[in-house]
Chain A
Amino acid sequence: MPLVYDELRRIAAGYIRRERPGQTLQATALVNEAFVRLASERPRPFANRQHFVAIAALSMRQILVQRARARKAAKRGGAPDRVTLDENLVSTEPPGVDVLVLDEALTRLAAFDPEQARIVELRYFGGLTVEETAEAVGISPATVKRQWAMARAWLKRAVDTAPDDSVDAL
């Protein structure tokens, strides 16, 4: 786990050094690059690519949630009693899904359908295609499609009905 996590961070640091400000990375690109690099560095670091991707997807999810929490805390703590030393905290929220709300909904989904939650994690946070996901989970692509359709619908409902600050109550 620390290995994948650190590798993802190293790659990101590389992107920043090459000065591409504001450029965002898709999970797919990041995870692929991390795998290629780790695989070339070590003879057999992971049981297989699926194993690696599963860990990478989980890492991505954790990183995104962590950052979203930090941003939220920074926003809330606009009180004069703190001076933010980390300027990165001030950067803006990426557009799209509220990752904290999604994370919370996904955790709830995992409670009664771990497979669907895993498929979402791999597809959304790991950037895997339907075929790759099928291989990683060990089910047929058709099943992945069906499960994905339902999980996506369920999450959409959960996210839309989530109260604005539900995450605060956690």
Chain B
Amino acid sequence: MTHEQWERLKALFSGALDQPAERRHDWLTLHAQGDEVLAREAGALLLAHDTAGGFLEEPAVIDPADLATVDEPASGMRIGSYEIDHEIGRGGMGVVYLARDLRLGRRVALKALPRLHDSNTALRERLRREARAAANISHTAIATVYALEEIDGRLFIASEYIEGHSLRDEIESGPLEQTRAIAIAADIARALCAAHDAGVIHRDLKPENVLITTTGTVKVVDFGIARVDNINTRLTREGETVGTPAYMAPEQFLGSTVDVRADIYAVGVILVEMLTGRHPLMTGGRSMPGSAFEITSKCIQTDPNDRYRSAGELLAALERELANWKAVAEPVTPSVPAASPARWWWEFHQAAVSIVYAVMVWPTWLARNAIGGQEGNAVFVAVLAAAIVAVTLRLHLWFTSRLYSAELGWARARATGWMLVSDAIFAIGLVVAGVLVGDARPALAVIEIAVAVGAATAFAVVEPATARAAFGRTDRL
């Protein structure tokens, strides 16, 4: 409905409402001016109005218990020595906030665990122990736990705040590149090695719990505290949607004892998801590379005894796989042939062009004075700017070629576009200067235009030729 229609509907409704009930229909027909849809809509609204009874007439009613138990820290609130900034996520065991530790002035991820009833001392003790164990693990691929706080009878876990995104975000935009997927799985396995050595099992590994920092580092979060012991004592809190236990190993699902191999199962599921973009139960006939398939299927065996026995074993397999992939696909970097006489000429060309460009600033300055006014200034500034860019880039290439030959391929690749633009502006600027100064200083005009032609020739013919001779390619420069 457009704004205009809505306004007309409002007018029709209000107008009809002012009429006695028995005349409303006729009033509507008369005033709708043939717009039957609108008349019908107004009629339906009138009917709803007449039959609404006490709908919304009494203000909302609230159970005080409801209000008091909405115990979600709000933004700006102080909890102990932490100041809540905003919610950054919610998961199996509570809501996570970005907060500031006012004592140390650093940002932390503050996880609010659900309020436990006083009777639940065993669970509370268990949580404390788990958090303490998690705080003892130190590894680059694990988010560091800073502190376990008990504030007003409620447990909070302060840990390293990780800026980045979750692996889930990445999987949602499609399968990951092969080597990247395996590298991430290897990083998770490394984190698991450290944790398992410290006696901590994650129990709730899933793409949501694997974060990737803005610098690309993998960080596993929520160690040990995500799920306590087994499924039967899983903590839940209001507002949490119950997901399918998609990453749980079968033995975990059945509530029997869980060891490190449950985490290995989860890594297998995550790896399949990274490679195919889908959960293994839904992959259908999607193909996976043979060797990666072997690793994942060994991870997700139903019987824990058929899986890798430790995270270290899994890591070794992943690293072998990664090495295989790297051997097959060497990273493509622009390579440069060794120095040659042709290369000397290419360097000479760069240097010579630089000198010519620099020298041409002087006649262009004279031309500017002769032309005068805004036009003279504009032409001079354009030529000067183009000359500076072109000369800087050429000297950079010359320098790189002389001293850091290995980098030259990259340097040329980066400089090409800019050189094209600056050369073009330089040549056009000279021509314009030549034309404008033509009447006043014919000699200067000749120089300007001659050099412009020369520069264009060098740029279009000589430079590609020397570059081809020096680098054996058909590209520019």
Contact = CB atoms under 8 A, between A and B. Distances in A.
Interface stretch (B111-119, B128-136, B345-353, B401-409): B111-119
Nearest to A68: B66
Interface in A1-52: 1-2, 5-6, 8-9, 11-13, 15-16, 20, 23-28, 30
B236 A28 contact: no
A72 to B, nearest CB: 10
Interface residues of B, number: 52
B332 interface: no
Interface in A57-93: 60-61, 63-64, 66-67, 69-70, 73-74, 76-77, 79, 81-89, 91
A123 B238 contact: no
B56 A85 contact: no
B60 A85 contact: no
Contact of B242 (A11, A26, A77, A156): A77
A155 B52 CA distance: 10
A113 B21 CA distance: 26
Given A1-B74, A86-B69, A88-B69, A157 B45 contact: yes
Interface in B14-73: 14, 17, 44-46, 48-49, 51-52, 55-56, 58-70, 72
Nearest to A60: B60
B105 to A, nearest CB: 22
Interface string B90-122: 000000000000000000000000111100100
B45 A153 contact: yes
A149 interface: yes
Given A60-B62, A63-B70, A88-B69, A82 B236 contact: yes
Interface stretch (B226-234, B259-267, B369-377): B226-234
Given A73-B239, A76-B242, A79-B242, A156 B66 contact: no
Contact of B68 (A12, A70, A125): A12
A33 B279 CA distance: 52
A83 B6 contact: no
B48 A27 contact: no
A14 to B, nearest CB: 8
A12 B45 CA distance: 37
Question: Chain A contact residues: over half helix, strand or loop, or mixed?
Answer: helix
B92 to A, nearest CB: 10
Nearest to A27: B59
A117 B60 CA distance: 15
Interface string A126-140: 110000000000000
Contact of B48 (A16, A70, A87, A154): A154
Given A2-B75, A157-B44, A112 B3 contact: yes
A2 B239 contact: no
A135 to B, nearest CB: 17
Given A2-B74, A2-B76, 5 more contacts: A16-B68, A91-B65, A97-B56, A153-B13, A160-B48
Interface of B: 1, 3, 6, 10, 13-14, 17, 44-46, 48-49, 51-52, 55-56, 58-70, 72, 74-77, 114-117, 120, 231-242, 245
16 contacts: A1-B75, A2-B75, A2-B76, A6-B74, A11-B64, A24-B62, A24-B64, A25-B61, A26-B61, A63-B67, A64-B66, A70-B239, A73-B239, A82-B234, A150-B45, A152-B56
